[in-house]
Structure 1
Amino acid sequence: MKILIVGAGMAGLSAARILAKYHEVTVIDKGRGVGGRMATRKIGDCQADHGTQYFSVQSANFQALIDQLLTESVVSTWQLAQRTNIRYFGSKGMKMIPKKMSENINVILNEKVCKIVNNKLLAESGNEYFFDQLIITQPVPQIQELLNQSSIDISAKDESVLNSVKYEPCIAVMAVLNKETSIQSGGIILENKPVAWIADNFQKGISTKPCVTLHASANFSAENFEGDLNEIAQKMLESVEEFIPKSSIETYQVHRWRYSLASSRFHETFYQFDDKSIFMAGDGFGIGNVEGAFLSGLNVAEFILEASLKTVK
């Protein structure tokens, strides 16, 4: 059976790892690398996680993967001063986790899908991909855009599920510094400020030179999302000068995450469109966050496998 997965983030790769053992699986992503918001950027000699900063683990299935990655030194633990539970992050950057997960998976990058026609997926490049089952793990607004371009008729239930998932944006600033910070435990959560989070990538151990990541609050991000990036960065940096003195900043870069956090999610871990071999999965389904995305991909893969076994019988 041919299975196409759109999106090489945590959900897409989680599903692919299971399904590729039994079926012909292809993962397609518009980005230059796998991981989605599990993202790490190099700025000169510095390296910064600018998307997902860390994650927690509660389920046995996700713990099994993380334990394996711990033994392989892909993942490390992080104890934040403001949190009691252990968090995890990529030892050499968050992007290394999806990179490891994508090993032995057929992933096609720099390929943006634009239309679904029957059991065929069309890309802007002109390439065509046939499928028996399609799993889409993009943010739901991008799925809605794809469906609109495809002229696919969806049911009232489908429409209700699509409209139930909402996202908050986030503006990230990565600043290279000329000296180390004194941020306790390498990360601090702020309240009632333009900046909601500061991470010290040097203290985390992913950068060989002092470098911090700032994430703006949801309200600040929404209010300033379409604004001038340089002005936005200046406002954010000025608001945290007690932690990052202006004199310590050498350079900075800014990134907009339009769909940073699923603030309203569909209660099930995935969704199958009525009368179609098309599924939606990702952090907009179930519990959200990194673990939720992993479980979403795992659960949709298990569902497809079980259905295929019944068909064989």
Structure 2
Amino acid sequence: MTTKEVIIIGGGLSGIMAARTLIENGITDILIIEKSKSVGGRLATRRIQKGKADHGAQFFTVRSAGLQKDVENWLQSGWIKRWFGNPYPRYTSVNGMNALAQKLAETLPINLNTKVSSIRDGRDGPLEVVLDNGEKIIGEHIIVTAPVPQALTLLSEVRGTELLNTITFAPCFVGMFTFANESIVPAPGHKDEQLPPGVERVVDHHKKGISSTVTVSVYMTGVWSKKRFDLEDDTILGEIQKVAELHLGEGNQLVDAQLKRWKYAEAEEVVRSPYVELGSDKRVMVCGDAFLREKDEAGRTRFESAYLSGISAGERVAEKLKGT
């Protein structure tokens, strides 16, 4: 049976930053467990034929000194670039947003393609993470970074989860469309104004600089997506395609169309704390982009809230392990 000082559930940005923070504090006996084949969560990039498309977070802004310091290092390393925006620059990864997650996680201990079925509160004893295959991993502390509805299914045997029952998420559908020729999405490849009802943003990844082919992502709002959540993929994609065709350009043609369903895209209610401690002796922590620091100016889920929440959770667990 494997034993770890800290087990982190979820390899998205919060999980990655929690792990990096623990290691910076000398806590190295850790493990990230991620159910997908890659880290990143909503820092997601899909290869489509010869091109690629970001279909989760497209960019991020910076309001905190901590993230600004990291951004300067990432810029210097050539991992990211300033895409557009004033007074708040929008930064994006030069090779797709998932590439940034991969860079941040490349030295971390991670088990991919590993699904957790439950977390057991050991009361005065060890905490147990039970995997789908029946294997158990023992942890002194556990940090859960999955979206709250998913976290609650894992934490049914842990005390204090009623604090999280009010947190709900809106879904988001993203259509990804490959065109034969240039789209009419204006440079630099991002549009979020004067769009049809139900459309949040349109992104041309060729003009963004990450795709060799003309691939356009169309993001639908949470309200639009929620109303259609039970429809078949082909029906949803057909509706989104009508929006995409407005950006084809004269004489252009659609080559490929794909759909991404994000069930937990954005928290409809946020938590005004960067983490919540649960369990009989508070050794289970839940954090993520819906957990905001008290003085957060934006007041909504985003890249930076996930980044800060992960760091805060890592710092708190490090304090406990060091007895400070």
Contact residue 182 and residue 248 of structure 2 kept, 8 A: no
Corresponding residue of 1:253: 258
Letter in 2 for 1:3: V
Corresponding residue of 1:225: 229
More helix by share: 1
Corresponding residue of 1:137: 145
**Match 1:43 to one of 48, 58, 63:** 48
Task: Give, in whole Å, the separation in 1 of the partners of 2:138 and 2:74.
Answer: 33
Secondary structure at 1:299's aligned position in 2? helix
Corresponding residue of 1:176: 178
Task: Give, in whole Å, the separation in 2 of the partners of 1:31 and 1:123.
Answer: 14
Shift in Å at residue 84 of structure 1?
Answer: 4.4
Question: Equivalent residues in 2 for 1:76-225 (5 A)?
Answer: 76-80=81-85, 84-117=87-120, 118=122, 119-148=127-156, 151-152=157-158, 154-155=159-160, 158-159=161-162, 161-184=163-186, 185-190=188-193, 191=195, 193-225=197-229
**Match 1:10 to one of 2, 13, 23:** 13
Gaps of 5+ in 1: none
Secondary structure at 1:131's aligned position in 2? strand
Superposed CA offset, 1:175-200 (max 9, x none):
11101123222110145513221001
Task: Say yes or no: does 1:277 pair with 2:290.
Answer: no
Corresponding residue of 1:305: 318
Contact residue 164 and residue 266 of structure 1 kept, 8 A: no
Task: Give, in whole Å, the separation in 2 of the partners of 1:128 and 1:226.
Answer: 35
Superposed CA offset, 1:36-64 (max 9, x none):
01000001101000111111011111112
Note closer, same or farther for the CA distance 1:212–1:170 as it changes in structure 2 (3 Å cut). same
Gaps of 5+ in 2: 293-298
Task: Give, in whole Å, the separation in 1 of the partners of 2:321 and 2:132.
Answer: 31
Superposed CA offset, 1:256-286 (max 9, x none):
0000111211100111015330000001100
Secondary structure at 2:323's aligned position in 1? helix
Contact residue 2 and residue 133 of structure 1 kept, 8 A: yes
Contact residue 178 and residue 210 of structure 1 kept, 8 A: yes
Letter in 2 for 1:222: K
Aligned residues: CA RMSD: 1.7
Letter in 1 for 2:62: V
Secondary structure at 1:34's aligned position in 2? coil
Shift in Å at residue 2 of structure 1?
Answer: 0.8
Contact residue 44 and residue 54 of structure 2 kept, 8 A: yes
Contact residue 195 and residue 240 of structure 1 kept, 8 A: no
Q: Percent identity?
A: 29
Letter in 1 for 2:14: A
Shift in Å at residue 243 of structure 1?
Answer: 1.9
Task: Give, in whole Å, the separation in 1 of the partners of 2:260 and 2:243.
Answer: 18
Task: Give, in whole Å, the separation in 2 of the partners of 1:8 and 1:163.
Answer: 23
* TM-score, with structure 2 as normaliser: 0.89
Contact residue 49 and residue 201 of structure 1 kept, 8 A: yes
**Match 1:55 to one of 27, 40, 60:** 60
Superposed CA offset, 1:112-159 (max 9, x none):
1011232111111232211000000000001111122xx33x23xx40
Contact residue 194 and residue 239 of structure 1 kept, 8 A: no
Secondary structure at 1:62's aligned position in 2? helix
Letter in 1 for 2:269: S
Q: What count of residue pairs does the alignment treat as equivalent?
A: 303
Contact residue 275 and residue 313 of structure 2 kept, 8 A: yes
